Amino acid sequence: MTSPTAPRHARLAVWPHVVWAGLVVTVVVAVLLAAASTTQPDGQCTGIGWGCTVSGGDLAALLAVFLVPPAVIVLLVGHLTIWAVQRWRRR
């Protein structure tokens, strides 16, 4: 983090990154918690394939495998964009 004696623009430059990271993490956590809170229908088998469904913690783990890597890419692209805009504005 920046020191209290850092220039004002340096201290303000951190907030867009914090907000962006918080937004991306909040969306990912909300999706995974929603998936983890699902329940298995009565009489339905568990697992993947042959008409079975994945629910609960297994569904959250499966979604995490496919959701987290793109979320990290979106996070990095967002941070690079914020950095580029801030650098362009300081010129």
pLDDT digits (tens, 9 = 90+) for 14-39: 888 899 999 999 999 999 999 999 88
Position 11 confidence tier, pLDDT thresholds 50, 70, 90: low
CB distance 67 to 31 below 8 Å: yes
The rounded distance, in Å, linking the Cα atoms of 91 and 59 is 48
User: In this structure, is residue 42 part of a structural domain?
Assistant: no
The predicted model scores a pTM of 0.76
User: In this structure, is residue 6 part of a structural domain?
Assistant: no
pLDDT tens digits for range 46-80: 777 777 788 888 889 999 999 999 999 999 999 99
User: In this structure, is residue 20 part of a structural domain?
Assistant: no
**Which of 91 and 36 is assigned the larger pLDDT?**
36
Give the pLDDT score at 68: 95
pLDDT at 8 over 70: no
User: In this structure, is residue 12 part of a structural domain?
Assistant: no
Q: Which amino acid is at 38?
A: T
The rounded distance, in Å, linking the Cα atoms of 52 and 34 is 19
Domain that holds residue 91: 26-36+47-91
User: In this structure, is residue 54 part of a structural domain?
Assistant: yes
Q: How many domains does the chain have?
A: 1
Angle between helices 14-36 and 57-90 (to 10 degrees): 170
User: In this structure, is residue 85 part of a structural domain?
Assistant: yes
Beta-carbon contacts of 36 under 8 Å, excluding residues fewer than 6 positions away, are: 56, 57, 59, 60
Two tokens, residue 56: 């609960």
User: In this structure, is residue 79 part of a structural domain?
Assistant: yes
User: In this structure, is residue 10 part of a structural domain?
Assistant: no
